[in-house]
Amino acid sequence: MDYRFAERKDTALILEFIKSLAEYEKLSDEVVATPETLEEWIFDRQKAEVIFALEDGVEVGFALFFHNFSTFLGRAGLYLEDLFVKPAYRGKGYGKGLLATLAKIALERGCGRLEWVCLDWNK
**What are 9-61's pLDDT values in tens digits?**
999 999 999 999 999 999 999 999 999 999 999 999 999 999 999 999 999 99
b/e sequence 31-70, b meaning 16+ C-beta within 10 Å: eeeeeeebbeebbeeeebbbbbbbeeeebbbbbbbbbeee
Q: What is the pTM of this model?
A: 0.93
Residue 123 has pLDDT above 80, yes or no: no
Pairwise CA distance, residues 118 & 21, whole Å = 13
Residue 122 has pLDDT above 90, yes or no: no
